[in-house]
Structure formats: structure tokens, C-alpha cells
């Protein structure tokens, strides 16, 4: 068996990948908004799944609004340790924000058990109680989105952005539709697909756009 490797320098792998993605998107005839392209392409880079070009949905001016929030010190709250681990913290730290995940906290686990709700749901309440500007990056738990939807309607939380990309089969599609039915800025992957890597990579796409030290 003869397997030919493409000779690309480590520092050029990401650039080359984005060239391939740009080329294949063009060949497929998909029109994508230039301002949203860095996000859409990075999600495809993270998944090798071009279907995301159709699945991703954005509220108006979401990139500008999110950048503004980060510049004003907004924090990011995720629903999984994996998503938290995948977010590049450099830019958010620069502006005084940070990345949090409360899913494994003892008090969250205890309260979730007592009330018969998910830890993800309680971890959203804990985030809301911080009294900070929050960008929610949800890659796993539809119950996190459902609880955010309820709290938005109850006036208990006013997210700067909801990245709603849980993956799965039970209430995932519906939970995303609920968020799109609010007035909160959102980036949603419609349908069943999503995941923690995607939640992290959407955060990174926006953070990288704000990082003047990055070449691309």
C-alpha cells in the first residue's frame, strides 16, 4: 500500500485547511456572509462536515455584539469541561473576562439531584447568579438551553450571546428553536448536530477575529 502524505509545515496546516474549505465551499456554490465566514469555516474545520454551512443560524449583528461584550469584560460559561478546555483564553483574559463551567460543582450536583433536574440546568442558574455579562456556549445539554429560555422569560438572565449547539436526540432540536424565539443574540446549529468542540470553536473563531497578533 502506497500512502502519499502532503508536505505541509506544521505552522501552515491550519492555513492550508482553510484554503481547502474555502475552495470546496465555492465549488459547492454555497453563498456565505463574509462577516460570518470565519465562524462557518472554523466549524467545518472542526468537524469536516460541510452540512454546517446550512445548519448554522445567526441573529443580526451577532459578531459585532459579541465582540463588544467581550471588550466590556463579558465571561463565557460552558455546559461541559470539554468545551471549557477547548476555548483559547488569551483574548478573553486580555479584556478581564474568563471561562467558567459549573457542571461538576458539588453544590450543582446536590441541588440537581434534590430537585430532579439536570446538572446542566442548575449550572445555568449558578451562572446567572454571578451578576456578570455572560456569553453562554452550550455544546451538550439541551436542558441548559431550555432553562436559559425560561430564565430569559422570567427576567432572571439577559445573555450577551447564546451559542446553542447541543448535540443529540431528546429535545435538542426544540431547545434550539426556543432560543431562536427569544430576542437574545444567538449562534445556533439547527437540527440534531453540534457538540462541545463546536461550542468551543465558535468561541475561538470570534476570539481569533479580535486577536491582532494572529496572522489569519
By the rule CB under 8 A, 181 interacts with its own copies: yes
Active site residue 45: yes
Decide: is 1 part of the binding site for its own copies (CB under 8 A).
yes
Question: In whole angstroms, how close is the CB of 21 to its own copies at the nearest point?
Answer: 7
Q: Which residues contact 84 (CB under 8 A, 6 or more apart)?
A: 78, 99, 100, 101, 200
Q: Cα–Cα distance between 59 and 63 in angstroms, integer? A: 9
Report in angstroms the alpha-carbon separations of 164 from 136, 143, 198.
8, 11, 10
**Does the footprint of its own copies cover residue 57 (CB under 8 A)?**
no
Question: Rounded to an integer, what distance in angstroms lies between the CA atom of residue 34 and that of residue 145?
Answer: 28
E-assigned strand segments in the chain? 56-58, 75-78, 99-101, 134-138, 161-164, 186-189
Q: How many residues bind its own copies (CB under 8 A)?
A: 49
Binding of its own copies by 54 (CB under 8 A): no
**Binding flag, residue 196, its own copies (CB under 8 A):** yes
6 belongs to the binding site for its own copies (CB under 8 A): yes
Query: What sign has the CA pseudo-torsion 36, 57, 201, 17?
Result: negative
Stretch that binds its own copies, among 14-22, 63-71, 91-99, 123-131 (CB under 8 A): 14-22
Our finding on whether 22 is near its own copies (CB under 8 A) is: no
Q: How far is it, in rounded angstroms, from Cα 73 to Cα 93?
A: 9
Whole-angstrom distance, CA of residue 97 vs CA of residue 90? 10
Q: Which of 18, 32, 45, 65 is catalytic?
A: 45
Binders of its own copies among 62-81, rule CB under 8 A?
80-81
Contact pick of 29, 116, 131, 215 for its own copies (by CB under 8 A): 116
Query: Nearest Cα to 186, choosing from 84, 65, 74, 73?
Result: 65
The footprint of its own copies (CB under 8 A) covers: 1, 3-6, 8-10, 13, 16-17, 20-21, 45-49, 80-82, 84-86, 112, 116-118, 143, 146, 167-172, 174-175, 177-178, 181, 191-197, 200
Q: Which residues are catalytic?
A: 45
Amino acid at each position: 500500500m502506497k500512502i502519499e502524505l502532503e508536505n505541509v509545515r506544521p505552522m501552515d496546516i491550519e492555513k492550508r485547511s482553510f484554503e481547502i474549505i474555502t475552495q470546496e465551499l465555492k465549488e459547492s456554490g454555497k453563498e456565505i456572509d463574509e462577516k460570518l465566514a470565519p465562524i462557518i469555516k472554523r466549524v467545518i474545520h472542526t468537524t469536516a462536515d460541510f452540512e454546517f454551512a446550512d445548519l448554522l443560524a445567526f441573529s443580526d449583528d451577532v459578531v459585532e455584539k459579541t465582540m463588544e461584550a467581550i471588550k466590556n469584560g463579558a465571561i463565557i460559561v460552558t455546559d461541559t469541561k470539554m468545551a471549557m478546555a477547548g476555548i483559547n483564553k488569551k483574548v478573553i483574559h486580555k479584556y478581564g473576562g474568563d471561562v467558567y463551567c459549573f457542571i461538576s460543582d458539588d453544590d450543582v450536583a446536590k441541588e440537581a439531584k434534590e430537585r430532579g433536574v439536570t446538572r446542566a440546568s442548575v449550572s445555568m442558574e449558578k451562572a446567572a447568579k454571578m451578576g456578570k455579562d455572560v456569553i453562554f456556549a452550550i455544546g451538550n445539554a439541551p436542558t441548559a438551553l431550555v432553562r436559559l429560555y425560561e430564565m430569559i422569560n422570567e427576567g432572571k438572565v439577559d445573555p450577551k450571546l447564546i451559542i446553542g449547539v447541543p448535540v443529540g436526540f431528546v429535545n435538542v432540536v426544540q431547545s434550539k428553536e426556543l432560543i431562536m424565539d427569544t430576542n437574545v443574540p444567538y449562534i445556533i446549529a439547527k437540527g440534531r448536530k453540534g457538540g462541545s468542540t463546536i461550542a468551543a470553536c465558535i468561541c475561538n473563531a470570534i476570539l481569533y477575529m479580535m486577536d491582532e497578533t494572529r496572522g489569519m
